[in-house]
Amino acid sequence: MKKNSDAARFSSPLWRDRALASSAFSEMQKLCAAAVSKAGGEIAFMEVCGTHTMAIAASGMRRLFPKGLRMLSGPGCPVCVTSQGDIDRVLALARVPGVIIATFGDMMKVKGSKGLDLNSMRERGADVRVVYSPLDAVALAQANTGREVVFIGVGFETTAPVIAGSVIRAKKAGVRNFSSTSFFKLVPPALEVLLSDPGNKISGFMLPGHVSAIIGLGPYRFAAEKYRVPCVVTGFEPLDILAGINMLLKQVVSGRPAVEDEYFRAVPSGGNPAALKLIKEVFTVSDASWRAIGVLKGSGLAFSKAYAAFDAVKRFNIPYSDAPEPAGCLCGKILMGKSLPPECRLFGKACTPSSAVGPCMVSSEGACAAWFKYGG
């Protein structure tokens, strides 16, 4: 009977080892019961990265979590955390005559405060092109020397070194008609804001593997040392996620919070020195505006003086203006771990992937997109 039950549970091809998955879930049930008893109530872990959110949804594991364990989505979707004001700046750049906008595809349907997005801007005559790498945008500038090419740079510590390398190459090659936005966010400062908010009851963090591959483990230690919150850097396969959750539960039970590395096969404790060097050369730490969270000091990256000429918003004098969130949209609260997608009255009705209201439904890493596609 148990064998058939396990086959049904782990029927998805994403589960590469059903026996190991079954064993991990059995361990999770025991650990969760002990953790709930130790904590005196529900355990709420936050998966910071949108890729974790999508993997949890696609594998169906959310339905299998034991009673007392709740997984929250966090501010780890790069498109989702880009503020409404910065989206408006992207659209303003697309309106500049003669400018070619180069962007990753997940930015195409993110709406600004007036209800427009890059898709609708292209329909109105703007030259917007989807590229697969910032280097494609540099090549586009080299092929169109009479026009300005602006790459829409958004993301976290993962994306920043790739764009930094492209900017360095453009500078060395003398490509003067290429620039980029720098709407980058740093993950650790956002986690500290979440932990310092008394309204958030986060029992532990499942830390993002991609970001951690760049920055290593050190920048997260404040969470365990200052706030006494367990942390585990976790990979993206379902078995990785199960292992990461069990490691978090063990920390709760032991009462000894730490920063552990489940994804050691890809994440060295010291991060990626070469990538960090690129970031340090091209960018400087700055304040940044996060959707729903607001302006956080030292949570973003701006172009350094040596590369200021590549700052698109300065080159075209595009000021920042605060803009309201879409009416009725709970994307901001979802990013803060204070709401789940089905709790939004727009979810699945006025807001669907084909007609998204908020970025959490637009992005392939968005929590709303994951819940809509795979269910809760």
Q: What is the mean pLDDT of residues 155-159?
A: 96
pLDDT in tens, 322-361: 888 888 999 988 988 888 899 999 999 999 988 889 889 9
Specify the higher pLDDT residue, 265 or 63. Answer: 265
Helix axes 2-9, 18-39, angle to 10 degrees: 90
Specify the higher pLDDT residue, 64 or 163. Answer: 163
pLDDT at residue 4, rounded to an integer: 45
Would you state the structure tokens that stand for residue 49, as one six-digit string?
A: 């990265």
Beta-carbon contacts of residue 197 (< 8 Å; ≥ 6 apart): 336
Q: Assign domain 1-328 to its CATH architecture.
A: 3-Layer(aba) Sandwich (3.40)
DSSP annotation of 5: H
In the predicted model, is pLDDT for residue 120 greater than 80?
A: yes
Q: Where are the domains of the chain?
A: 1-328, 331-374
pLDDT at residue 12, rounded to an integer: 62
DSSP helix/strand/coil, 187: helix
Measuring CA to CA, how many Å separate 289 from each of 130, 142, 286, 323, 326?
A: 25, 32, 10, 11, 17
Measuring CA to CA, how many Å separate 19 from each of 25, 238, 241?
A: 10, 13, 15
The torsion angles phi and psi of 83, rounded to 5 degrees, stand at -65, 155
In the chain, % of residues over pLDDT 70:
96
Residue in the structure block whose two tokens are 């039970």: 253
Is residue 195 very low, low, confident or very high in pLDDT (cuts 50, 70, 90)? very high
Measuring CA to CA, how many Å separate 216 from each of 155, 184, 211, 219, 225?
A: 17, 18, 8, 7, 16
Specify the higher pLDDT residue, 375 or 7. Answer: 375
DSSP helix/strand/coil, 33: helix
pLDDT at residue 292, rounded to an integer: 78
In the predicted model, is pLDDT for residue 2 greater than 60?
A: no
The torsion angles phi and psi of 65, rounded to 5 degrees, stand at -60, 140
The torsion angles phi and psi of 298, rounded to 5 degrees, stand at 65, 30
Is residue 210 very low, low, confident or very high in pLDDT (cuts 50, 70, 90)? very high
Measuring CA to CA, how many Å separate 286 from each of 16, 213, 220, 304?
A: 42, 22, 19, 10
In the predicted model, is pLDDT for residue 204 greater than 50?
A: yes
Specify which residues 221 forms β-bridges with: none
pLDDT in tens, 268-311: 999 999 999 999 999 999 999 998 788 999 999 999 999 999 99
User: What does DSSP say about strands 294-303 and 99-103: parallel, antiparallel, or unpaired?
Assistant: unpaired
pLDDT at residue 376, rounded to an integer: 67
Please state, rounded to an integer, the average pLDDT across all residues of the chain: 93
In the chain, % of residues over pLDDT 90:
80
Query: Alpha-carbon distance 53 to 335, whole Å?
Result: 11
pLDDT at residue 11, rounded to an integer: 61
Residue in the structure block whose two tokens are 């379902």: 238
Query: Alpha-carbon distance 354 to 369, whole Å?
Result: 10
**Quick one: residue 366, left, alpha or beta (phi over 0 = left, psi -120 to 50 = alpha)?**
beta
Q: What is the mean pLDDT of residues 152-174?
A: 97
pLDDT in tens, 64-78: 899 999 999 999 898
Q: Strand (E) positions, 139-202?
A: 148-151, 154-155, 178-180, 183-185
How many CB atoms within 10 Å of residue 321? 11
